[in-house]
């Protein structure tokens, strides 16, 4: 690592990326806001790229910022592992691990974790399957897979499973900057309801989304239902609709480079939870136990 770059700067940058605000990052890291700003400016100067777009009510990662954030998370995790868990690698475990994961988890959460686990456990062979949540539930109970990683917040009934939540991600309004709600710092569901709404149809998102609308006795004005995340981004960025999705899958641009803002929702909506789950009535096999321990450590 260059002498001009420090782990502290990495931590401050990562906090700003997670929270979307330098002020919130400062609270999280127990430092002044100027310390966060200074760290980010120093990194941008060293890398010769802009890591954040400065918005009216916060910041959003640029394309270069997203790429750098992935590397920073890997470095910080590796540093923590080296200090705190020198004996955590389960080098003696070998065999096949049958894991199912959902669309969102496979695309936005799992790849780097699988890579790190495979490096630490070369004797374990992954049998990784792409499944919908209901398919995963059925496959676990039929002993067709050892465990699953999915949006546990969207599972209707968890009574048959043991589970562990690995990540909570705040849901926000995705909206074009040119939209009437696009430059607001926060909005209510009542304000969102009249506008054309794009509904994603993966990972039981439709059912989960309708539930929080119904809880407020409201109904979204749905103009498009799609299984394509890029279609959602494209329509939102063009101002053809809005949507409510989690920060984990948020990107501040569409495929054609148009801007998308993420606006906080007043009163809040339930967080999206990513978790692993397995058959409550059957103990995990040795390979699944190893992956379970790894995910718990890596995500907390």
Listed residue (127, 138, 144) closest to 161, CA to CA: 138
Residue 253 lies in a domain: yes
Residue 90 lies in a domain: no
Number of domains in the chain: 3
- Confidence bin at 86 (pLDDT 50/70/90): very low
Please check whether residues 279 and 140 belong to one and the same domain.
Answer: yes
39, 60, 84 - which closes a domain: 84
At 246-292, the pLDDT tens digits run 888 888 889 888 999 999 999 878 888 999 999 999 999 999 999 99
Helix/strand/coil for 263? strand
User: What is the Cα 70 distance to its own chain's centre?
Assistant: 12
Please check whether residues 133 and 224 belong to one and the same domain.
Answer: no
CB atoms within 10 A of CB 121: 21
Please check whether residues 39 and 161 belong to one and the same domain.
Answer: no
Please check whether residues 155 and 281 belong to one and the same domain.
Answer: yes
52, 84, 116 - which closes a domain: 84
Residue 1 lies in a domain: no
Residue 195 lies in a domain: yes
Please check whether residues 25 and 159 belong to one and the same domain.
Answer: no
41, 58, 84 - which closes a domain: 84
117: region left, alpha or beta (phi > 0 left; psi from -120 to 50 alpha): alpha
pLDDT at 257: 87
Mean pLDDT to the nearest integer, 240-251:
91
Please check whether residues 290 and 155 belong to one and the same domain.
Answer: yes
Residue 286 lies in a domain: yes
Please check whether residues 104 and 177 belong to one and the same domain.
Answer: no
Question: Is a pLDDT exceeding 60 seen at residue 236?
Answer: yes
Place of tokens 């809880």: 215
Residue 2 lies in a domain: no
Please check whether residues 66 and 182 belong to one and the same domain.
Answer: no
Residue 145 lies in a domain: yes
Please check whether residues 175 and 265 belong to one and the same domain.
Answer: yes
- Confidence bin at 2 (pLDDT 50/70/90): low
Question: Is a pLDDT exceeding 90 seen at residue 77?
Answer: no
User: What is the Cα 230 distance to its own chain's centre?
Assistant: 16
Residue 214 exposed, middle or buried by CB count within 10 Å (0-12, 13-18, 19+): exposed
Please check whether residues 264 and 138 belong to one and the same domain.
Answer: no
Listed residue (292, 277, 299) closest to 121, CA to CA: 292
Alpha helical stretches, state H, 88-172: 103-108, 111-120, 133-141
Please check whether residues 208 and 228 belong to one and the same domain.
Answer: yes
Whichever domain contains 28, its CATH number is 1.10.10.10
- Confidence bin at 142 (pLDDT 50/70/90): very high
Whichever domain contains 112, its CATH number is 3.40.190.10
Q: Which of 61-65, 184-188, 240-244, 272-276 has the lowest mean pLDDT?
A: 61-65
Asked if 266 contacts 186 with a C-beta cutoff of 8 angstroms, the reply is: yes
Asked if 187 contacts 265 with a C-beta cutoff of 8 angstroms, the reply is: yes
Asked if 32 contacts 72 with a C-beta cutoff of 8 angstroms, the reply is: no
Please check whether residues 99 and 140 belong to one and the same domain.
Answer: yes
Q: Does the pTM of the predicted model rise above 0.85?
A: no
- Maximum average pLDDT range among 83-92, 166-175, 228-237, 243-252: 228-237
Instruction: Catalogue the E-assigned strands of the chain.
Output: 52-55, 58-61, 95-101, 124-130, 147-151, 161-169, 171-175, 186-187, 196-200, 221-226, 243-246, 261-265, 272-279
Question: Is a pLDDT exceeding 50 seen at residue 79?
Answer: yes
pLDDT at 88: 47
| Cα distance from N-terminal residue to C-terminal residue, the chain | 25
| Domain span including residue 80 | 7-84
Residue 140 lies in a domain: yes
């Amino acid at each position: 690592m260059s002498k001009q770059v420090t782990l502290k700067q990495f931590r401050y940058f990562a906090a700003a990326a997670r929270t979307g605000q330098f002020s919130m990052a400062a609270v999280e890291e127990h430092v002044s806001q100027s310390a966060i700003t200074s760290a980010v400016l120093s990194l941008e100067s060293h890398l010769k790229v802009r890591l954040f777009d400065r918005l009216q009510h916060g910041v959003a990662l640029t394309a270069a910022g997203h790429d750098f954030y992935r590397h920073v998370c890997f470095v910080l995790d590796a540093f923590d592992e080296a200090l705190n868990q020198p004996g955590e690698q389960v080098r003696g475990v070998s065999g096949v691990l049958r894991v199912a994961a959902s669309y969102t988890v496979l695309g936005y959460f799992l790849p780097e974790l699988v890579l790190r686990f495979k490096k630490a456990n070369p004797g374990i062979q992954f049998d990784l399957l792409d499944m919908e949540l209901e398919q995963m539930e059925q496959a676990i109970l039929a002993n067709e897979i050892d465990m699953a990683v999915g949006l546990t917040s969207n599972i209707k009934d968890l009574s048959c499973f043991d589970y562990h939540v690995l990540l909570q991600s705040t849901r926000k309004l995705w909206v074009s900057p040119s939209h009437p709600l696009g430059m607001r710092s926060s909005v209510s569901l009542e304000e969102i309801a009249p506008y054309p709404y794009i509904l994603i149809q993966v990972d039981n998102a439709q059912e989960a989304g309708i539930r929080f609308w119904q809880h407020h006795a409201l109904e979204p004005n749905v103009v498009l239902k799609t299984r394509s995340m890029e279609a959602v981004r494209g329509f939102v960025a063009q101002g053809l609709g809005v949507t409510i999705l989690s920060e984990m899958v948020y990107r501040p641009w569409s495929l054609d480079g148009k801007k998308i803002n993420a606006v906080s929702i007043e009163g809040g909506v339930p967080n999206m939870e990513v978790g692993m789950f397995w058959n409550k009535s059957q103990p995990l096999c040795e390979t699944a136990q190893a992956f379970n321990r790894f995910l718990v450590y890596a995500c907390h």
